[in-house]
A and B are shown apart, each in its own frame.
Chain A
């Protein structure tokens, strides 16, 4: 294995491959910062260009974009409360609250460092555990997915800062939004109202940018919420960094987020969005001060931002060892490999060692580059908060409209974003949390599809689930989570000081 890694670094440390690694990381960060333009779109755009490269160089470049995005997505979430990426939606909640409390630097710093730790952990996982984890992926069938999605949905009980009834209402609304589009089993259009743009469902870009970004704009415009006075930014790099207390509180969330994100990232359809939400829910549950969540708890940034990064690494396992892409981005990477005549699969390590180890080495290097790239700029980004409100509002509007348009080149999506903007404003004014809505919208379609597949396979027999221990396990977790979130809301302080 060490031989392999040394070979990988030998492949990487050529001028061309290093250049591609840096280019991918920088591009990825930029794409992450810009809402709407996601990794899948960018990689699709660059795919024709990458054909001119050798396969190793092409994958190093495209993979760099993929994990670079998980770093960059945080920045807009924290500074503007606009999710730079779908996987950073949950960071809008506490990341932006921290910025308002004058801790934007700490939020960005801990996100970058957490991302680095989680990314490195993820690569180690890819290197050491690929074959056994590939088996886990295969063991997941429709029952397991349906139960996992239910366990994910049960987390809504923890988002319920606004009360269980309001959270449940938002979740139902999110589930409904997820139903728009073609029926997953018989392909019939549902709730499309004859609008062709709705046939593929509601995109996450207009939904997230509208609910979070444009609604923020309305708050700014109406001046109902005063922006907290930003403390004069410290002049040294260290001044932007999280303080000792924040470090202490972030350590365990980063560790838990790394493991959780990695496992979720392995699973097709799981992905970074679910990983970040799961991590947020877990941290809120384990926290000694859950009441701070939503008001600027650093755990709510550290955990999810770590989870979405280790998730991107995890997704490489099924791709490289089984030829199974876990999400839209790795599907594109698979396409890129096939174009070059590389067939991913269990034999890739023997057949194309320079590619396999080159990619692994580039992931280590890419994470280092991203950390170096992100930390010094934290100060610069924080200064953006000093921009007067009227300019900030214009910037938010511009970013949201361009972001929505760029994902599908579809004017209907922009209209949809505006509608969601007003909706988000009304809901937030009414004291509703938007977290449950987004979570249910993301998980709903997979839950529906998996459950209906499972029932088709079992010929309608719901009791078949007893033959699926993993699925049963998730169901038990879901019930426990719901009970602890709903029934025992006034949680006595019994969790011992574990440094979390």
Chain B
């Protein structure tokens, strides 16, 4: 009896907030789902941006690591979340533009409303110190003459090498490894001949003189090695494109998207964010929501083609 009274009392209070005049949104915390585990480059970058965005939104941002399904579990959760702007997703090419080609996912590119992009992942090609190949030209010439193994985790890390195979007639053979660290170790031990990975795993080996960076496979050079050219600068028209940005469920009210997009855009420009990104081998790439959406859609189309050619797409 008593319990019922309390319930009734609670119900009577409910309409009260609705009577208030147009409160400023957001009025409570926003949650961002991160597709990978805590401490990784995606997680740390998202936290850095979120930490700045909190200041602009005026509410706390909660980070939830929804790991699983190769980065697709968190996007699935965003797709199914209530579209009120309080649940957002973060993601790179892997979940948005690559996974739909390689596995069955319940979402499409149209399942999301796009927010700004914040960062770009860097990639590079390295050989071990004992390797006879001193330049990227040497390596590519050798790979034209014979089959050459390279280690990488998975798309997009391996796609640059597939592009080289297609455009320049090289015979790079992809050897998949579970983690970037294992991929780099395999090169150091001479078990594979080169690697296509990202700075966090390659830098310790390069800085200690065990590995040589032959080229950056990103549009820009690595900050730590400004003398090493990009593939494009070396005359090979190949880049690996991977961006990190934010998405929301499709049906999120547009006026809330505008508020969020503005906050994330300003947050992504903060100097503190750049400092964090640099430590994890990324560079800031602040993109308006529309530009980020366009980049993801373009990536989706291009990756689909590359993956089908490499026999890695879902049949």
Contacts and interface: CB of A to CB of B under 8 A. Distances in A.
Nearest to A410: B68
B142 interface: no
A332 B181 contact: no
B234 interface: no
24 contacts: A47-B38, A48-B63, A140-B189, A141-B186, A142-B186, A142-B191, A187-B103, A187-B312, A199-B72, A200-B68, A268-B179, A269-B182, A322-B185, A323-B181, A331-B39, A336-B39, A339-B276, A343-B203, A344-B204, A346-B208, A453-B175, A453-B177, A457-B149, A459-B173
Given A48-B63, A328-B37, 5 more contacts: A44-B39, A187-B154, A332-B38, A345-B205, A457-B149
A44 B63 CA distance: 12
Contacts of A132: none
Interface in B47-79: 47, 63, 65, 68-70, 72-73, 76
A372 interface: no
Interface in A317-355: 318, 322-325, 328, 331-332, 334-336, 338-339, 341, 343-347
A422 B314 CA distance: 35
B176 A453 contact: yes
Interface residues of B, number: 51
A220 to B, nearest CB: 33
Nearest to B174: A456
Contacts of A318: 185
A48 B47 contact: yes
A184 B178 contact: yes
A336 B173 CA distance: 33
B175 A335 contact: no
Nearest to A457: B149
Nearest to A140: B189
A343 B207 contact: yes
The majority secondary structure among interface residues of chain B is: mixed
B102 interface: yes
B68 A338 contact: no
A45 B65 CA distance: 9
Interface string B187-200: 01111100000001
Interface in A276-324: 318, 322-324
B280 interface: yes
B206 to A, nearest CB: 9
Contacts of B235: none
B127 interface: no
A-B interface, 5 closest residue pairs, ranked by CB to CB distance from nearest: A335-B39, A323-B204, A141-B191, A345-B204, A44-B38
A196 B173 contact: no
A342 B200 CA distance: 11
A341 B278 CA distance: 10
A138 B189 contact: yes
Nearest to A51: B47
A318 B182 CA distance: 11
A455 B115 CA distance: 44
B181 A331 contact: yes
Contacts of B186: 141-142
Contacts of A45: 38
Interface footprint category on A: 35 or more
B69 A196 contact: yes
A233 interface: no
A338 B279 contact: yes
B42 to A, nearest CB: 11
Contacts of B65: 44
Contacts of B190: 141
B185 A44 contact: no
A466 interface: no
Nearest to A336: B39
B81 interface: no
A332 to B, nearest CB: 5
Contacts of A43: 38-39
Contacts of B15: none
B311 interface: yes
Contact of A324 (B147, B185, B279): B185
Contacts of A194: 104
Interface in A17-54: 40, 43-45, 47-48
B9 interface: no
A45 B314 CA distance: 34
A344 B69 CA distance: 30
Given A139-B189, A187-B312, A335 B40 contact: yes
Contacts of B44: 335, 338-339
A47 B34 CA distance: 14
A345 B311 CA distance: 37
B208 A345 contact: yes
A408 interface: yes
A197 B67 CA distance: 11
A124 interface: no
Contacts of A4: none
A199 B38 CA distance: 20
Interface string A184-205: 1111110000101101100000
A456 B149 CA distance: 9
B184 interface: yes
Interface string B97-122: 00000111010000000000000000
A197 B68 contact: yes
Nearest to B207: A345
A457 B193 CA distance: 10
A182 interface: yes
A331 B38 CA distance: 10
Contacts of B68: 196-197, 199-200, 408, 410
Given A196-B69, A335-B44, A459-B147, A322 B178 contact: no
B188 A138 contact: yes
B39 A347 contact: no
Given A141-B189, A408-B68, A347 B208 contact: yes
Q: With a 10 A CB-CB cut-off, give which of B179, B181, B314 has the most chain A CB atoms.
A: B181
Nearest to A339: B44
Contacts of B102: 187
B218 to A, nearest CB: 19
A133 B189 CA distance: 13
B43 to A, nearest CB: 8
Contact of A199 (B43, B103, B185): B103
Contacts of B314: 188
Contacts of A197: 68
Contacts of B312: 186-187
